[in-house]
Structure 1
Amino acid sequence: MIGKLQCIVLDCPDPAALARFYAGLLGGEVDRPDRRWSLDADWSTLHTEDGTVICFQRVADHRPPRWPDPAHPQQVHLDIDVADLDAAEREVLALGATRLSDAGGWRVYADTAGHPFCLIPG
């Protein structure tokens, strides 16, 4: 092993808003003090209960990916296991997600900054 994953970083236009979106989806604490990062208008974090850290970085000219459009690649996406796909869909839509498609037993959505993520029956 060369290293250990510290966090996942998503570019976006509004870091605090996207952190709150993912807190609603995954639970956890937004902008918990952490010696590894400074928190400000350009950087926000989510520490999930399982120890995963997702960071959100402001990019002034953020251009969201368009799934599935190779001219605008995904860049990154998250797969999220859920117990009840229909219930999970209602909740992510209420958070502001956009449904993009069905994909072989799971569903693809865009978060509020346009990043795709999949809900997968667990």
Structure 2
Amino acid sequence: MALAKLGAVVLDCPDPRTLAGFYAEVLGGTVQGEGDWIDLEAPGGRALAFQAAPGHVPPKWPAPDASQQFHLDLAVEDLDAAEKGVLALGATPLDAEDRSRTWRVYADPAGHPFCLCAC
């Protein structure tokens, strides 16, 4: 028997409202809350939360001497179309060298790495 269930994945960032808006555009869903904590209720009942972190330093990717902590894998039907969309929303490509792979790596506007993965 499990001791707990996952409530939300929480991302530290300098501006919770802005980062929640970025992921709402990428994933859909509803942004709720004010101030230092913003929730995104994504379709399918999943939740992401965004917490203000003064002095936030984004992870480095790739960096064998520094941990990226975690990343999100986002399943998409069309890698090229999804890439165009996330770049328009402010994502930064982190690994654009091998276009033949079924996944691509980006940083969100606060610097957290995420992957678009062909499903």
TM-score above 0.5, yes or no:
yes
Deviation readout 1:36-93 (Å, 9 max, x if unpaired): xxx3321111001110110000000100001111343211210011000000000000
User: Aligned equivalents of 1:71 and 1:84: distance in 2?
Assistant: 33
> What corresponds to 2:30 in structure 1?
29
1:88 partner amino acid: A
Match of 2:50 among 53, 56, 65: 56
Aligned to 1:120: 117
> Quick check: 1:107 aligned with 2:108?
no
State the identity as a percent: 55
- Give structure 2 stretches of 5+ with no counterpart: none
Question: Paired residue for 1:5?
Answer: 6
Could you say which residue in structure 2 is the equivalent of 1:76? Answer: 70
Q: How many residues align?
A: 115
What letter matches 1:106 in structure 2?
W
TM-score, normalised relative to structure 1: 0.89
Corresponding residue SS for 2:111: coil
Give deviations 1:83-114, integer Å, cap 9, x for gaps.
Answer: 00000000000110001115743100000000
Name the TM-score, length of structure 2 as normaliser: 0.91
| Greater displacement, 110-119 / 68-77 | 68-77
User: After the TM superposition, which parts of structure 1 deviate over 4 Å for at least 4 consecutive aligned residues?
Assistant: none
Please, what is the CA RMSD of the aligned residues?
A: 1.2
